[in-house]
Amino acid sequence: MSETTESMDHRPLGELLCPEPDERPDLWPWSTRRREDGVLEIGGVALTQLARDFATPAFILDRADLRGRARVWASVMAEEFWEGYGMAGGDAFYAGKAFLSSDVVRTVTKEGMGIDTASLGELTLALRAGADPSRIGLHGNNKLDSEIESALSAGNGVGIGRIFIDSVGEVAQIERIAARLATKAKVMIRVKTGIHAGGNAYISTGHEDQKFGVGAYDGQLDEVVAAIEASPHLKLCGLHSHVGSQIFGTAAFTQAARILCALAAHIMTDFGRPLPEIDLGGGLGVAYSGDDPVPTSVLEVARAIAAAVKSSCEELGIPFPRVSVEPGRSTIAPAMVSCYRVGAVKDATLGEDAGEALRGHRRYIAVDGGMSDNIRPALYGARYTATLANRVSSAPLLRSRVVGKHCESGDVIVWDVDLPADTSSGDLLVVPVTGAYGYSMASNYNMLTKPGVLGVENGEAEWIMRPQSIDDLLALDPGVHHRGEL
Ligand code: LLP
C-alpha cells in the first residue's frame, strides 16, 4: 500500500461499487459465482486458474450463457410471430459486428439464429464456419463489389438470404453483379425512419442526418423501389430499419415497426407489391454497471413489436410480414468479461475542486491491457465497472480509475469505481459486460497484441480466439527480419 493511501481519510463514499453476481445477475455471465475463498469463478473455472494457465488480459466467454441468450432471441421471435397465432413468422439474426468467431457462429446458429454481417470478413467467416447462407444478411453503406459477389455466390450460387440496399446507386451495382453471375439477388431496403434512439450520437442511426439508409419521405424510397422493380436480377423482399444501439424500453422499436408497416402499405398501393418481410435491426441495450437500469427483456421487446405490427397491419389492411431483428450487444455483451492483471498503482493529488468522493486524491490502477482491447470508454465515454477476481478485501474503499498501459491519458477502462485500498500489483481485476464491441473493436495501438478469448464451460477452458503474438504483428512487415532469418 502506498504512503498516500495510508494517510487518506477513509470515510464512506457515495458508493460506486461493482455489484456482485448475486446482486445484479444481468451484469454477469450466468455461471459466475464468488467462491468461499473469494475467488470469482465462471463456467466452473476459477479466474485465478485461467490467469495462471492461459494469460492476462483475456476475454472470458461463458459458452452456456451465450447459448442461452441466442436461444432466447431465436425462440422468442419464433413464438411471438408464430404462424399459429396468425402471424407470418419471426427470426433473429445475430449481429456479428458485436463479436464474431467461428465458435460463436456455430453456437448461435445451432440455437436458431441467423447471422447478420457487414463486411467481406464477417461474411466469409460466417460462411466458412458453416452458417446456412439463406440465413445470412449483408449490410453496408458502401458495399464493395467483392462483398456483393461473395454474397451472391454463396451456397453454390444460390446466394445469401438478404442483402440490405442502402442507397439508390447500390441497386445498379447489385443488378450488374447478379446479372454477370446469372443469379437473382434477394434484397431488402434499409430506410431512415426518422427515429433517433440509443446511447450515443455515434451509434444512433435511424435519423436523417447520417450515412445509413434511404430517405423514407423524400422520394428516395420510391426511387429505389422503382429501380429494383426494373431490375430483372433483383427480388425485393422487404424493408429494414436500425434505429440505434444501447436502447432501453420498447418505444423506439414499436415506432419503427409502425413506420415500416406504413411504408410497406404505401409500396403495396403504389407499386402493387406486397412486402413479405420487415427487419427492425438491433439495438436492445444492456447494463454495464450498477448505475444502469436492468435492461428491457427480449420477451418484452418482441411482444411489443408483435403487438405494433399486428395492429398496424390490421389498420392498414396489409398482410402480416415476417418480422426479423438483428441483436448483437444483447446477445453477447453480458456473456463475456475481461480479466486483467493489476500492475502499477498510484495516487494523483487533485485540487480543492476535485469533489467530495475523491477527497483530494484519485487512485489510478493500471492493468495489462487498455484502450486497445476496450475502446468504448475512450470513444463513447462508456461507463464500466470492475471488481477483484482473485480475492475479496475488507480494506476501505477508494474512488479509483482503472487505466491501461497505452501512452495516452484517455486510455481508461473504468472511469470511476470504488475498489479496496489494498488493491495492488498482481491482483486480478475483472470487468463485466465486455462481450460486445470489445474484441471486435480492438486494435494494435502501441503494437500491443490483442488478447485471446477463452471459452469456459463445465470446468473446462479453451481459446476460441488465441491471443495474438508479437510474431503475428511482425509477420505483416516485410522489412522485419523474422525469427531464424538473421
Ligand atoms: N443491425 C445493424 C444494421 C446495425 O448497424 C447494428 C449495429 C446492429 C444490427 C446491432 O446492434 P446492437 O444490437 O449490437 O446494438 N460500436 C458501438 C455500437 C455500434 C453499433 C452499430 N450497429 C458500441 O460499442 O456501442
pLDDT in tens, 439-464: 999 999 999 999 999 999 999 999 99
Statement: residue 45 has pLDDT above 90: yes
8 Å CB contact between 213 and 263: no
Q: Does a structural domain hold residue 5?
A: no
Average pLDDT over residues 60-71: 98
Q: Band the pLDDT of 218: cuts 50, 70, 90.
A: very high
Statement: residue 468 has pLDDT above 50: yes
Average pLDDT over residues 175-181: 98
Separation between Cα atoms, residue 288 and residue 285, nearest integer Å: 9
Separation between Cα atoms, residue 99 and residue 91, nearest integer Å: 19
Looking at residue 456, which CATH number applies to its domain? Answer: 2.40.37.10
Q: Does a structural domain hold residue 414?
A: yes
Q: Nearest C-alpha to atom 10 of ligand 1 is from which residue?
A: 282
Q: What is residue 361's predicted lDDT score, i.e. its pLDDT?
A: 83
The response to whether residue 328 sits with its C-beta less than 6 Å from ligand 1 reads: yes
pLDDT tens digits along 127-138: 999 999 999 999
Atom of ligand 1 nearest to the CA of 281: 1
Average pLDDT over residues 79-98: 97
- 201 & 264 share domain: yes
Q: Band the pLDDT of 231: cuts 50, 70, 90.
A: very high
- 268 & 322 share domain: yes
pLDDT tens digits along 320-365: 999 999 999 999 999 999 999 999 999 998 877 777 777 778 999 9
Q: Does a structural domain hold residue 379?
A: yes
Separation between Cα atoms, residue 117 and residue 94, nearest integer Å: 9
The response to whether residue 281 sits with its C-beta less than 6 Å from ligand 1 reads: yes
Is 407 considered catalytic here?
yes
Q: What is residue 7's predicted lDDT score, i.e. its pLDDT?
A: 33
Question: 406 vs 60, 366, 431, 445, CA distance in Å?
Answer: 22, 10, 18, 8
The response to whether residue 326 sits with its C-beta less than 6 Å from ligand 1 reads: yes
Q: What is residue 200's predicted lDDT score, i.e. its pLDDT?
A: 60
More confident site: 353 or 105: 105
Which residue, 185, 167, 276, is CA-closest to 224?
167
Statement: residue 11 has pLDDT above 70: no
- 368 & 249 share domain: no
pLDDT tens digits along 191-209: 999 887 776 655 556 667 8
Q: Does a structural domain hold residue 70?
A: no
- 194 & 225 share domain: yes
Which range (136-145, 175-184, 206-215) has the least confidence? 206-215
8 Å CB contact between 63 and 286: no
- 130 & 260 share domain: yes
Question: What does 442-471 look like in DSSP terms, one character per residue?
Answer: ---GGGPPPPEEEEEETTEEEEEEPPP-HH
Separation between Cα atoms, residue 436 and residue 387, nearest integer Å: 19
Q: Which of 327, 349, 382 is the last residue of a domain?
A: 327
- 149 & 240 share domain: yes
Q: Where in the sequence is the domain holding 461, given as residue range(s)?
A: 25-62+335-474
Q: What is residue 355's predicted lDDT score, i.e. its pLDDT?
A: 73
Statement: residue 1 has pLDDT above 60: no
pLDDT tens digits along 395-414: 999 999 999 999 999 999 99
8 Å CB contact between 69 and 330: yes
Cis peptide before 57 (omega within 30 of 0): yes
Beta bridge partners of 388: 429
8 Å CB contact between 389 and 42: no
Ligand 1 centroid to 140 CA: how many Å?
12
The response to whether residue 116 sits with its C-beta less than 6 Å from ligand 1 reads: yes
- 323 & 187 share domain: yes
Choice among 237, 261, 313, 407 that is catalytic: 407
- 249 & 360 share domain: no
Which range (91-100, 346-355, 473-482) has the least confidence? 346-355
Q: Which of 281, 297, 327 is the last residue of a domain?
A: 327
Q: Does a structural domain hold residue 351?
A: yes
8 Å CB contact between 52 and 320: no
Looking at residue 310, which CATH number applies to its domain? Answer: 3.20.20.10
8 Å CB contact between 94 and 113: yes
Q: Does a structural domain hold residue 292?
A: yes
Residue 157 CB burial class (10 angstroms; 0-12, 13-18, ≥19): exposed
Which residue, 468, 199, 472, 454, is CA-closest to 338?
454
Statement: residue 481 has pLDDT above 80: no
The response to whether residue 166 sits with its C-beta less than 6 Å from ligand 1 reads: no
Question: 478 vs 390, 475, 482, CA distance in Å?
Answer: 42, 7, 9
Residue type, 347: D
Percent of the chain with pLDDT over 70: 94
Ligand 1 centroid to 15 CA: how many Å?
31
Q: Nearest C-alpha to atom 5 of ligand 1 is from which residue?
A: 242
What is the count of structural domains for the chain?
Answer: 2
Q: What is residue 448's predicted lDDT score, i.e. its pLDDT?
A: 98
- 462 & 418 share domain: yes
Atom of ligand 1 nearest to the CA of 379: 24
Pairing mode, strands 58-62 and 114-117: unpaired
Q: Does a structural domain hold residue 2?
A: no
Q: Band the pLDDT of 190: cuts 50, 70, 90.
A: very high
Separation between Cα atoms, residue 242 and residue 283, nearest integer Å: 7
The response to whether residue 403 sits with its C-beta less than 6 Å from ligand 1 reads: no
Separation between Cα atoms, residue 212 and residue 206, nearest integer Å: 8
Q: Does a structural domain hold residue 486?
A: no
Which residue, 143, 211, 226, is CA-closest to 177?
143
8 Å CB contact between 307 and 262: no
- 209 & 314 share domain: yes
pLDDT tens digits along 382-399: 999 999 999 999 999 999
Ligand 1 centroid to 285 CA: how many Å?
10
* Consecutive H or E run containing 164: strand 162-165
Q: What is residue 205's predicted lDDT score, i.e. its pLDDT?
A: 62
Q: Band the pLDDT of 92: cuts 50, 70, 90.
A: very high
Cell numbers for 466, please give them: 488465441
- 314 & 358 share domain: no
Q: What is residue 208's predicted lDDT score, i.e. its pLDDT?
A: 74
pLDDT tens digits along 243-292: 999 999 999 999 999 999 999 999 999 999 999 999 999 999 999 999 99
Q: Which of 239, 329, 413, 441 to mutate to test the pocket of ligand 1 (most atoms within 8 A of CB)?
A: 329
Q: What is residue 350's predicted lDDT score, i.e. its pLDDT?
A: 85
Ligand 1 centroid to 84 CA: how many Å?
31
- 102 & 205 share domain: yes
Q: Is the dihedral of CA 122, 125, 129, 130 positive or negative?
A: positive
Q: Which of 245, 246, 443 to mutate to test the pocket of ligand 1 (most atoms within 8 A of CB)?
A: 245
Long-range Cβ pairs for the range 465-472 (8 Å, 24+)? 465/59, 465/101, 465/439, 467/55, 467/58, 468/444
Q: What is residue 281's predicted lDDT score, i.e. its pLDDT?
A: 98
Q: Which of 327, 352, 373 is the last residue of a domain?
A: 327
Q: What is residue 204's predicted lDDT score, i.e. its pLDDT?
A: 59
Ligand 1 centroid to 277 CA: how many Å?
21
DSSP 3-state percent helix, strand, coil across the chain (nearest 5): 35, 25, 45
Q: Nearest C-alpha to atom 11 of ligand 1 is from which residue?
A: 282
Residue type, 201: A
Task: Please state, rounded to an integer, the average pLDDT across all residues of the chain.
Answer: 93
Cell numbers for 243, please give them: 434505429
